[in-house]
Chains A and B, each alone.
Chain A
Amino acid sequence: MLSRTADNLYWLSRYVERADYLARILEAAQRLSAMPSAYVGISNEWESAVATAGCSNLFFELYDEANEKNVTEFLAFSTANTSSILNCFETARTNARAVRTALTVAMWDAINGVWLELQRYRNSPKSREDFARFLRWVQESSTLIDGSAYRTMLRSNAYWFSRLGGQIERADNTSRILDVKYHLLLPADEPVGGALDYFQWASILRSVNALTAYHWVYREHVKPWLVADLLILNDKMPRSLASCYGNLVQNLDEIAGAYGRQGPAQRQARAIRTRLQNSRMDGIFQRGLHEFIGEFIIENNRLGSAITQQFLL
């Protein structure tokens, strides 16, 4: 397979996954901002949404204030932001078109259909209800694209490369979602473990559809270290870092098997997976969750560039 084809497939999935993630953090911010202000006091959930998306610098170059209007426009519809939902789908579709023959008809139809429908949303939705509907649609669209690939693509290098992109992006996103809580400052008079703290953790779980799973696994009310355990170390949770790395290693092994060659990307992915398997939550919290996530994001990016170096150039 040509590196260029692999590159397109890889980024196609990354962008679809990223669009899904942006929709989720916007939804979470919307939910948090719906709290009565008597509860919250001075709220900063929109600013934290931008910080979580990892594009604060660009945002504050373009806007003065992080409020609902600016942030939704920036993260969802801005053309100046290369990682807005609009641009993500746009780029995904461009990538897909370049490798049209490597995709199945079902997958192309899904991507192209999403892109066509996206044109209807170009003029930002007017009401909150409309916007909420748009966010649901984004998540459904990425599920559709993901599912059509899962159901129809031949299990060969095209499929594995597209999975790699999705999993790398998802690992990055999950860790960033966990980090929201670090950026969401609790008001000074609000106790840690209090009502607002609880609500914020629960909405993190809800934003990744993991609240029910949480209760099944832990059978306890929402506690920070258990939320982190679920989203970092529990390999039965499909979004967790452990699960993403299980899949990454498997896909890299498949690629290595097909070409009969191992490389640095595979070794790095295995090393990170080993570290996740040999970590315990109390150890992570002792060193600091924010620090752990910061390091993880760097490691994850390093793996991303190792994959690029090894396969995509």
Chain B
Amino acid sequence: MKIRISHATIYHYDTPPSGVTQLLRKTPRNYDGQYVLNWRLDLSQDCLLHQHEDAFGNITHSFTAEGPFKELSVAVVGEVDTQDTHGVISGALERFPTGLYLRETPLTQADDAIINFAESARAANGKDRLKLLHYMLAALNAEMTFDTDPTHVATTAAEAFKLRRGVCQDLTHIFIAAARRLGIPARYISGHFYRVDGVTEQNAGHAWAEVHIDDLGWVGFDATNGICTTDAHVRVAIGLDYLGAAPVRGARFGGGGETLTVAVHVDQAGRQTQS
């Protein structure tokens, strides 16, 4: 499937800052299931933009924009050709042994409730890891209510699980926490999702988890949609949790009254939508 993506983060400041430094992880890499046809990054301010790779091999861009300015927009636009690999990720850049992805982070720490959830899933499914993971995927999808209100970027897996509410980020964190607790390496993927229901305007990117299964390698599990990843998923960055794979991280010098708008547009390329 040819998917066209535009992803813009627009900051508006009541009091202009004297500078903004950001690290972006908005540029996807190729793997066997996806090929980036073209990709462009646009900044509204003139500044030096450096391209690097982080430890996980994600493509990063960093810049420092000198103020003052009232608005800053960071936008990427591009097209990606995807293929359905039934969730199995092959041909991707792997920098670390899989054991690294057992490491817990503050955002993905399992509390008693998550441990109970994981253990009861194991008790119900025995040794078959694939069956176990699918069971957890379905259970989380059924149990959690998608709600953008109560959680925010710093909400931990435990907090969200307690509320039984959250966004894709929270569901992914819970899934990762449970998988790691069972000794299954798991990692956080940030990316984009093409929605079959025709909703092309989204106000955030998407996130899901990848877990490592011995015979298959890395497999994508999207708890928000209750499915393994398909050709509707565009994989952008990987990390141990949201903070490691976040599209934008940064700091601002001075200024204030910041409001952030995120506009994501994901559509099938070559298809015109009527508004």
Contact A275 B91 (CB under 8 A): yes
B-facing mask of A257-279, CB < 8 A → 1, else 0?
00000000000001101110110
Q: How many residues of B contact A (CB 8 A)?
A: 11
The stretch among B25-33, B168-176, B215-223 that forms the contact with chain A is B25-33
B153 contacts partner chain A, Cβ-Cβ < 8 Å: no
Chain A residues within an 8 Å CB radius of B35:
270, 274
Question: Which residues of B, 24-52, contact A by the 8 Å Cβ criterion?
Answer: 29-32, 35, 37
In the assembled complex, the CB of A260 is this many whole angstroms from the nearest CB of chain B, namely: 10
CA distance A277 to B91 in the complex (A): 10
B-facing mask of A267-294, CB < 8 A → 1, else 0?
0001101110110000000000000000
Chain A residues within an 8 Å CB radius of B124:
none
In the assembled complex, the CB of A92 is this many whole angstroms from the nearest CB of chain B, namely: 33
A253 contacts partner chain B, Cβ-Cβ < 8 Å: yes
Chain B residues within an 8 Å CB radius of A274:
30-32, 35, 91
Contact B29 A278 (CB under 8 A): yes
Chain A residues within an 8 Å CB radius of B32:
271, 274
Contact A278 B37 (CB under 8 A): no
CA distance A270 to B2 in the complex (A): 14
In the assembled complex, the CB of B22 is this many whole angstroms from the nearest CB of chain A, namely: 25
In the assembled complex, the CB of A45 is this many whole angstroms from the nearest CB of chain B, namely: 38
In the assembled complex, the CB of A269 is this many whole angstroms from the nearest CB of chain B, namely: 10
Chain A residues within an 8 Å CB radius of B93:
277-278
Contact A277 B37 (CB under 8 A): no
Contact A253 B30 (CB under 8 A): no
Q: How many residues of A contact B (CB 8 A)?
A: 8
In the assembled complex, the CB of A249 is this many whole angstroms from the nearest CB of chain B, namely: 8
CA distance A277 to B57 in the complex (A): 11
In the assembled complex, the CB of A306 is this many whole angstroms from the nearest CB of chain B, namely: 16
Report if A273-B30 is in contact (Cβ < 8 Å); known contacts: A278-B91, A278-B92, A278-B93. yes
Chain A residues within an 8 Å CB radius of B92:
278
Chain A residues within an 8 Å CB radius of B91:
271, 274-275, 278
Closest to A249 in B: B35
CA distance A59 to B97 in the complex (A): 47
Closest to B33 in A: A274
In the assembled complex, the CB of B96 is this many whole angstroms from the nearest CB of chain A, namely: 12
**Which of A274, A275, A277 is most buried by chain B, counting CB atoms within 10 A of its CB?**
A274
CA distance A271 to B37 in the complex (A): 13
Chain B residues within an 8 Å CB radius of A277:
29-30, 93
Chain A residues within an 8 Å CB radius of B29:
277-278
Chain B residues within an 8 Å CB radius of A270:
30, 35, 81
Contact A253 B31 (CB under 8 A): no
Closest to A271 in B: B32
Closest to A279 in B: B93
Question: Which residues of B, 235-260, contact A by the 8 Å Cβ criterion?
Answer: none
CA distance A273 to B37 in the complex (A): 12
CA distance A253 to B93 in the complex (A): 24
In the assembled complex, the CB of A32 is this many whole angstroms from the nearest CB of chain B, namely: 37
Chain A residues within an 8 Å CB radius of B30:
270, 273-274, 277-278
In the assembled complex, the CB of B274 is this many whole angstroms from the nearest CB of chain A, namely: 23
CA distance A277 to B31 in the complex (A): 9
CA distance A213 to B160 in the complex (A): 54
Chain A residues within an 8 Å CB radius of B81:
270
The 10 closest A-B pairs by CB, nearest first: A274-B30, A278-B93, A270-B35, A274-B91, A277-B30, A275-B91, A274-B31, A271-B32, A278-B92, A278-B91
Apart from A253-B37, A278-B57: 20 A-B pairs, beta carbons within 8 A? A270-B30, A270-B35, A270-B81, A271-B32, A271-B91, A273-B30, A274-B30, A274-B31, A274-B32, A274-B35, A274-B91, A275-B91, A277-B29, A277-B30, A277-B93, A278-B29, A278-B30, A278-B31, A278-B91, A278-B92
- The chain B residues found within 8 Å of chain A, CB to CB, are 29-32, 35, 37, 57, 81, 91-93
- The chain A residues found within 8 Å of chain B, CB to CB, are 253, 270-271, 273-275, 277-278
Instruction: Give 23 CB contacts A-B under 8 Å.
Output: A253-B37, A270-B30, A270-B35, A270-B81, A271-B32, A271-B91, A273-B30, A274-B30, A274-B31, A274-B32, A274-B35, A274-B91, A275-B91, A277-B29, A277-B30, A277-B93, A278-B29, A278-B30, A278-B31, A278-B57, A278-B91, A278-B92, A278-B93
